[in-house]
């Protein structure tokens, strides 16, 4: 990429789509360095002595020796060599100890997440909900802005890493407000954020001086005029790029003095500059909407080709594996933020990040069932999905006739992997189902097994299936959640009939609302039971609520070639395979 700004190479190295995992694989780094992704940013995680954590970005990986704690955070060195920088936060310029004869300058900033924002009344009136970014948010936004190719190129100092010391402070020592941290956790529930631990952001120092320092020798009136013009120009550049900074000020604008005492300028005559201090960086409203729409569009492209994508092992990052369970291929990996596990249907590793729990687990939604934990949500990537808590191991309750109730008790709830295998097998045989997307196993051990899991047959039958680390695939002491597509249309529909203007309605409610007659409902139920039998399956509790219809915005149902409403099966908990067509 051609760099038009003569200082761009020094101020802001291009953020390429590098893989931390592949880098760790090639380099002789500590064995305990683990690749992970948090809010879209790749890190190498290195536990430090005493229980601390160091998260190093791609830029920091190349300087890992300098970032080792003994080379900058050593107490004697830190206190003797740090230089406090102006501002309301705790920020230092700090040289590292020489490594192989070379020292580098760092910016060490203590994150103020959870603290009150000390901004003036005018700004407060414009950003009444302003709050400091968490360290992971800040790095995610900076990395994103550095890669942005719409609008002016914004130069910044390089984000190198985040250090979380092991010590836990008293709440009064942190200056944080519990309600602010609670708000952050509500939005990023699965990102570790401890109200009592410090978070130290590490940036690389930029050569230059702040704009207010550069013009301080001029007469006051002239200084104010130049600074106002420069600050306004930078603000426009930021907004054109899709961002704004709540406390935008000249002190955050770094300019480059030249040997003759003048300041370096760009080709258009404006001052060449870089930005620092991003604890109050946010996206503009338009850019925020575009980010969600863009990720949604990219998701749909990958989703449609999820079984057509190449499954070659060399295309997978180090932290993801292709596995086959009950005949279904999954991209498997760890959800590092929760220490959980995630299986994403298909061959495409690009889909994995869309289903890590922080993208959907705590986004607003609604409960869809009174009898089970079934929830609809719109993810942070603008994807409609339904997640369900698996009830495998619980004893099914049934008010059906004794013979059927006995069959239900004898069979028991399916595992999530059985549900997905059944759903995809039915789809291959021409029976429409909701789309199985991913299976998530919680990281924390659950007390649910002690209270509800009394039927352990499935755990015994799955015992032989183990993961690469020797752990069993299916464990009674963890919660398993299935993730399904929400849209209930048929794949043969015209493109214009998409999930944006179709709504699902179950067969029972459609009858209650007068969209179909009771006789039609029974006819559709009988038809589905016959189709299932022909496919080698039986739903032990087939009921109208298990079948979804597609409702247009004008309240008309989508009909098939026979003039009957199209149906999709949405429940597989007690779907039994027939003897002749059983699952292997």
CB atoms within 10 A of CB 437: 24
**The two three-digit tokens of residue 383, written as one number:** 């994807």
CA distances (Å), origin 21, targets 141, 145, 319, 330, 333: 21, 23, 7, 19, 13
Question: What DSSP state is assigned to residue 262?
Answer: P
Q: How far apart are CA 545 and CA 536, in angstroms?
A: 21
pLDDT at 550 over 60: yes
Quick one: pLDDT at residue 336?
75
Helix (H) or strand (E) holding 457: helix 457-461
How do residues 219-253 score in pLDDT, each as one tens digit?
A: 677 778 888 889 899 999 999 999 999 888 888 99
* Ranges of each domain in the chain: 8-206, 291-501
Classify residue 514 as left (phi > 0), alpha (psi -120 to 50) or beta: left
Please give the average per-residue pLDDT across 106-129, as a whole number: 75
Interval 170-194: pLDDT, tens = 998 888 888 888 777 766 655 678 8
Angle of helix 518-535 relative to helix 416-428, nearest 10 degrees? 100
Tens digit of each residue's pLDDT (9 = 90 or more) over 192-223: 788 899 999 999 999 999 888 888 776 677 77
* Residue carrying the six token digits 């249907």: 345
* Nearest partner of 146 among 136, 134, 155, judged by Cα: 155
> Going by C-beta distance under 8 Å and a sequence separation of 6 or more, which residues neighbour residue 135?
111, 113, 162, 199, 201
Residue pair 474/465 in contact (Cβ under 8 Å)? The answer is: yes
pLDDT digits (tens, 9 = 90+) for 26-77: 555 677 788 877 887 888 889 998 889 999 998 998 899 999 999 999 999 9
Please write the tens of the pLDDT for every residue from 438-475. 999 988 776 665 566 677 788 888 888 887 777 888 88
pLDDT > 90 fraction of the chain, expressed in percent and rounded: 34
- What is the C-alpha to C-alpha distance for residues 44 and 355, in angstroms, rounded to an integer? 21
Largest Cα separation within the chain, whole Å, is 95
Q: Are 287 and 281 in contact (CB under 8 A)?
A: no
- If phi > 0 it is left, if psi is from -120 to 50 it is alpha, else beta; for residue 237 that is alpha
Best CA proximity match to 480, nearest among 366, 377, 570, 392: 392
Per-residue pLDDT reduced to its tens digit, 135-180 = 999 999 999 999 888 888 899 999 999 999 999 989 988 888 888 8
Cβ atoms of residues 351 and 360 within 8 Å: no
Q: What is the CA radius of gyration of the chain?
A: 28
At a CB cut-off of 8 Å and minimum separation 6, what does 410 contact?
Answer: none
Compare 42 and 5 and report the one with higher pLDDT.
Answer: 42
């Amino acid at each position: 990429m051609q760099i038009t700004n003569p200082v761009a190479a020094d101020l802001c190295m291009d953020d390429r789509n590098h893989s931390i995992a592949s880098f760790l694989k090639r380099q002789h780094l500590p064995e305990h360095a683990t690749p992970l992704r948090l809010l879209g940013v790749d890190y190498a995680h290195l536990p430090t002595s005493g229980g601390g954590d160091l998260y190093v970005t791609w830029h920091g990986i190349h300087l890992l020796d300098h970032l080792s704690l003994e080379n900058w955070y050593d107490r004697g060195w830190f206190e003797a060599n740090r230089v406090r920088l102006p501002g309301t936060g705790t920020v230092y310029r700090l040289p590292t100890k020489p490594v192989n004869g070379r020292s580098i300058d760092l910016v060490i900033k203590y994150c103020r997440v959870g603290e009150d924002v000390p901004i003036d009344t005018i700004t407060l009136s414009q950003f009444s909900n302003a709050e400091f970014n968490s360290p992971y948010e800040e790095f995610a936004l900076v990395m994103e802005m550095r890669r942005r190719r719409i609008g002016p190129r914004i130069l910044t100092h390089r984000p190198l890493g985040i250090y979380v010391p092991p010590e836990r402070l008293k709440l009064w020592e942190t200056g944080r407000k519990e309600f602010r941290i609670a708000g952050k956790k509500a939005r990023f529930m699965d990102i570790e954020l401890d109200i009592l631990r410090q978070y130290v952001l590490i940036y690389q120092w930029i050569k230059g001086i702040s704009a207010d320092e550069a013009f301080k020798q001029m007469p006051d009136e002239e200084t104010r005029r130049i600074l106002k013009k420069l600050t306004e120009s930078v603000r426009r550049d930021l907004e054109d790029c899709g961002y704004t900074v709540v406390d935008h000020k000249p002190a955050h604008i770094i300019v480059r003095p030249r040997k003759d005492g003048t300041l370096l300028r760009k080709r258009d005559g404006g001052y060449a500059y870089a930005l620092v201090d991003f604890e109050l960086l946010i996206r503009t409203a338009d850019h925020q909407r575009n980010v969600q729409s863009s990720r949604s569009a990219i998701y749909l492209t990958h989703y449609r080709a999820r079984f057509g994508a190449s499954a070659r092992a060399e295309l997978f990052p180090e932290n993801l594996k292709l596995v086959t369970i009950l005949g279904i291929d999954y991209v498997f990996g760890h959800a590092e933020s929760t220490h959980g596990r995630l299986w994403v249907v298909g061959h495409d590793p690009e889909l994995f990040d869309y289903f890590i729990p922080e993208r959907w687990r705590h986004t607003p939604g609604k409960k869809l069932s009174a009898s089970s934990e079934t929830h609809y949500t719109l993810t942070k990537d603008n994807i409609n999905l339904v997640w369900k808590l698996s009830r495998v191991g619980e004893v099914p309750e049934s008010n059906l006739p004794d013979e059927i109730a006995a069959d239900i008790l004898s069979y028991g709830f399916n595992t999530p992997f059985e549900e997905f295998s059944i759903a995809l097998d039915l789809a291959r045989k021409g029976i429409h189902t909701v789309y199985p997307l991913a299976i998530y196993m919680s990281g924390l051990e659950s007390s649910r097994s002690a209270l509800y899991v009394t039927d352990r047959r499935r755990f015994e039958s799955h015992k032989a299936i183990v993961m690469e680390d020797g752990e069993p695939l299916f464990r009674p002491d963890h919660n398993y959640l299935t993730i399904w597509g929400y849209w209930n249309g048929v794949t043969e529909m015209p493109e214009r009939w998409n999930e944006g203007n179709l709504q699902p309605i179950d067969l029972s409610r459609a009858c209650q609302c007068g969209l179909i007659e009771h006789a039609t409902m029974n006819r559709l139920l009988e038809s589905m039971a016959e189709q299932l039998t022909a496919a080698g399956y039986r739903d032990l509790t087939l009921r109208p609520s298990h079948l979804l219809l597609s409702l247009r915005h004008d309240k008309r149902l989508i009909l098939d070639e026979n003039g009957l409403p199209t149906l999709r099966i949405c429940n597989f908990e007690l779907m039994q395979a027939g003897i002749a067509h059983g699952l292997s």
